[in-house]
Amino acid sequence: MQYGSPVVYATDTLLALDDRGAGVPIRELALVGLTAAIITYFATGWVRVLARRLGAVAYPRDRDVHHEPTPRMGGLAMYIGVAVAVLLASQLPALTRGFVYSSGMPAVVVAGGLIMVVGLIDDRWGLDALTKFAGQITAASVLVTMGVAWSVLYIPLGGVGTIVLDQVSSILLTLALTVAIVNAMNFVDGLDGLAAGLGLITASAICIFSVGLLRDHGGDVLFYPPAVISVVLAGACLGFLPHNFHPAKIFMGDSGSMLIGLMLAAASTTAAGPISQTAYGVRDVFALLSPFLLVVAVMFVPALDMLLAIIRRTRAGLSPFSPDKMHLHHRLLEIGHSHRRVVLLIYLWVGIVALGAASTIFFDPRYSGAVMLGAILVAVVVTLIPLLGRRNGQFEEMYDEK
């Protein structure tokens, strides 16, 4: 994957490219994100009616926490918002150059459309795990084919430094990360508003990080794709959330959760290649590792939940993809939290990790780490309040009323 002409000048805090420096288009990014939110919000009402007519309705099962039949296919509304917002971005003079130097944004529309259709079929008729996995691999392959792939890695051990991946390594790494993030988001989509909220938080974190990269690289248009992709995804999740928060009027279904995962993977991947080894001085190690670290940070809670689910099901002699009612959010419900509070708690945990990681592009990582540690301690206390209340003889119902 080529990244255009070489660096022509650098300072301690700014690395700019004469032919690609175009500034930091904050207003245009905000407009694109707002467009995605508005389009998604109004499209969701139409999709809800369509889902009922097509019979794409989730009826309550033993492992579910909802009690009323609820239409699915919300991912279709989100995709409409994404497609319209990306089209708008391609027409805005301040963002157009990002489409010239990178195919990342069109790739998201094409690959996102493919994985959304796979999800729609699953929402309506159901797909076995292998077929769905094949669809995920195909969508990830479309990203790679259209130029969205990890091309360089920074290894801080043994003096290895920056290495350029060969074609096979690049493809395998991109496919593995994309499919992993897609499935992590799909695994946690079990409570009203959970996946949409996590998508909003993680996409916002990547957008903040991308804006920092734009600032530090003199507005290099190669960093437009992660900024645009993430702000569009954040807008789509924001527009869908009012319909999906408890009690949900519609579920996003696999069409939505897999779309979120693919766009998060694409945003992180497009941020990885252009980072310069000389842009950050003493922060070189963190800056060059940042795409990997950000992926780990924003997907920490979903990935942990997925890993525990795989171990739990495998030890029980079940398929790793078999459903159960022992996810993280189910366990939080069991200790006494209400439905809404569980969702807000997971928002809190993911927000601390994701936004804390993104803040390191603006602040010393040591300071960001200290603030994150303090926030994590507060989150632990808030999470354990029901257990503390039980020890003090308080009733769970009284806590819920408060």
Look at residue 191 and tell me if it is in a domain.
yes
Give the angle 357-361-363 at the CA atoms, nearest 5°: 90
What is the number of H-type helices and E-type strands within the chain?
15, 6
Q: Give the integer Cα–Cα distance in Å for 87 and 75.
A: 18
pLDDT at 226 over 80: yes
Q: Give the integer Cα–Cα distance in Å for 287 and 12.
A: 13
Backbone angles phi, psi at 196, to 5 degrees: -65, -40
Angle between helices 93-101 and 104-124 (to 10 degrees): 90
In the chain, what percentage of residues exceed pLDDT 90?
39
Strand partners of residue 163: 153
Look at residue 75 and tell me if it is in a domain.
yes
Look at residue 307 and tell me if it is in a domain.
no
Report the domain count for the chain. 1
Q: Give tens-digit pLDDT for 85-113.
A: 999 999 999 898 888 888 889 999 999 99
pLDDT class for 268, splitting at 50, 70, 90? confident
> Which residue bears the tokens 């009826």?
59
Average pLDDT rounded to a whole number, residues 133-151 = 93
- For the beta carbon of residue 321, count every other beta carbon within 10 angstroms: 16
What end-to-end distance do the CA atoms of the chain give, in Å? 55
pLDDT class for 353, splitting at 50, 70, 90? confident
Among 18-32, 58-72, 77-91, 123-137, which range has the highest average pLDDT? 77-91
Look at residue 323 and tell me if it is in a domain.
no
Output helix, strand, coil percentages for the chain, rounded to the nearest 5: 70, 5, 25
Output 342 or 22, whichever has higher pLDDT. 342
Q: Is the dihedral of CA 118, 248, 34, 266 positive or negative?
A: negative
Alpha carbon separation from 286 to 275, 283, 345, 374, 400 (Å, rounded) = 11, 6, 28, 21, 42
Q: Give the integer Cα–Cα distance in Å for 162 and 64.
A: 46
Among 12-21, 157-166, 367-376, which range has the highest average pLDDT? 367-376
Look at residue 11 and tell me if it is in a domain.
no
pLDDT of residue 284: 43
Q: Which residues contact 165 (CB under 8 A, 6 or more apart)?
A: 150, 151, 152, 153, 173
Least Cα distance to 89 among 265, 227, 236 occurs for 227
Q: Give the integer Cα–Cα distance in Å for 359 and 367.
A: 10
383: helix, strand or coil: helix
Look at residue 105 and tell me if it is in a domain.
yes
Least Cα distance to 71 among 54, 88, 89 occurs for 54
pLDDT at 154 over 80: no
Strand 9-10 relative to strand 161-164: parallel, antiparallel, unpaired?
unpaired
- Residue 223 belongs to what domain range? 16-299
Output 385 or 92, whichever has higher pLDDT. 92
Look at residue 330 and tell me if it is in a domain.
no
Output 317 or 43, whichever has higher pLDDT. 43
Look at residue 199 and tell me if it is in a domain.
yes
